[in-house]
Amino acid sequence: MDIAAFEIHRQHATIHTGPVSFIDVGYGRTAVFIHGVITNSLLWRNVIGILASDNRRCIAVDLPGHGQTPPAAQDADVSLTGLASRVIDLCDHLGLERVDLVANDTGGAIAQIVAARLGERLATLTLTNCDTEPNMPPMMFKPVVAAARWPRLFEVVGPRLVGHPTVTRWVTTAGYQNAHYLPTDVLDAFWRPVLGTGAAAAAFARMLRSVSTDDLAAVRPQLQQLRAPTLIAWGTGDVFFRVKWAHQLADLIASTTGVVTLKGARLFFPDERAAELAPLLEQHWQRHDRTTI
């Protein structure tokens, strides 16, 4: 699905935790999609293009400072727990009684906290390649998180990086098998809101500094007792999140129904290999459809 078709379904709201932009398309049982750092709701455009229908409502949120959601206020909580509160706040705002939750990358860490707090409102959970305890942040991303202690560095380097699409495309190859096929407008829509201005880059650095594995450790007991059926779909070609972390998640989350691997798929495979992920989601949801949302 191209950006123009996707953006037709764009909505904006001011919720208790701040302004939020999100995609809302389709009707019926509701799936909520959470992206990770750098990307935004566009990560899910191809999956949503396949799944959204008269019987399936798809909501994809833009986290603060990503996509069309503005950076969080200086005093706002942008820890994993704070971001999870924003997702739950949006669900409350939209009156969602039960949801199927799907997440990727840092969004997967946020989703684990959301899942621990939603209780019976969580119908199913699907985690794709994402942060886990204690792999939070992953080893290859730790230098970036460490650099966030100097926001001025982000303010200077960020806009320059965005000003060179060839460089951002090269960096994006870490998450895509074939980044050269990623449309230029999508690439720009990923990077520009996060690093395109000094202020945006400084806000992003503040978010990175707030990321901590302690937030995941705090919900470990709830995840060990989670009742919502959980699917773990993992790309085997990811340099950030190796397959061993998928199996660690399966051991942690009591309600895991299975681990499915996609050979060679990298971190952002929900975009690149949506045609393989969408049927897995449909099968997972259909097997656990005792409640219509």
Q: Report domain extents, the chain.
A: 3-138+213-287
Please tell me whether residue 35 adopts helix, strand or coil conformation: coil
Pairwise CA distance, residues 221 & 48, whole Å: 32
Q: Is the pLDDT of residue 203 over 50?
A: yes
Q: Full-prediction pTM beyond 0.85?
A: yes
**What pLDDT digit, counting tens, does each position of 149-174 carry?**
999 999 999 999 999 999 999 999 99
Amino acid at position 59, single letter: I
Amino acid at position 241, single letter: F
**What pLDDT digit, counting tens, does each position of 210-226 carry?**
999 999 999 999 999 99
| 8 Å CB contact between 53 and 25 | no
In angstroms, the Cα distances linking 152 to 31, 45, 74, 181, 205 are 38, 33, 15, 33, 9
| 8 Å CB contact between 76 and 15 | no
Amino acid at position 222, single letter: Q
Residue 293 is predicted with a pLDDT of: 38
| 8 Å CB contact between 165 and 172 | no
Residue 290 is predicted with a pLDDT of: 64
The terminus-to-terminus CA distance of the chain in angstroms comes to 25
**What is the number of other CB atoms lying within 10 angstroms of the CB of residue 49?**
16
Residues 6+ apart with CB under 8 A from 11: 21, 22, 23, 24
**What pLDDT digit, counting tens, does each position of 261-291 carry?**
999 999 999 999 999 999 999 999 999 886 4
Q: Is the pLDDT of residue 253 over 90?
A: yes
Q: What does the block give as tokens for 234?
A: 């993992």
Q: What is the DSSP string of 98-154?
A: SEEEEEEEHHHHHHHHHHHHHGGGEEEEEEEEE--SS-SS-GGGHHHHHHTT-HHHH
> What distance lies between CA 219 and its chain's CA centroid?
18
**What pLDDT digit, counting tens, does each position of 179-189 carry?**
999 999 999 99
Pairwise CA distance, residues 81 & 22, whole Å: 19
Pairwise CA distance, residues 131 & 112, whole Å: 10
Average pLDDT, the chain: 96
For the four alpha carbons of 58, 11, 2 and 205, in that order, the dihedral sign comes to negative
Residues 6+ apart with CB under 8 A from 224: 252, 253, 254
Pairwise CA distance, residues 167 & 274, whole Å: 25
Please tell me whether residue 180 adopts helix, strand or coil conformation: helix
Q: Which residues pair with 14 in a beta bridge?
A: 19
Confidence of residue 1 (pLDDT cuts 50, 70, 90): confident
Superfamily of domain 3-138+213-287: Alpha/Beta hydrolase fold, catalytic domain (3.40.50.1820)
Largest CA distance in the chain: 52
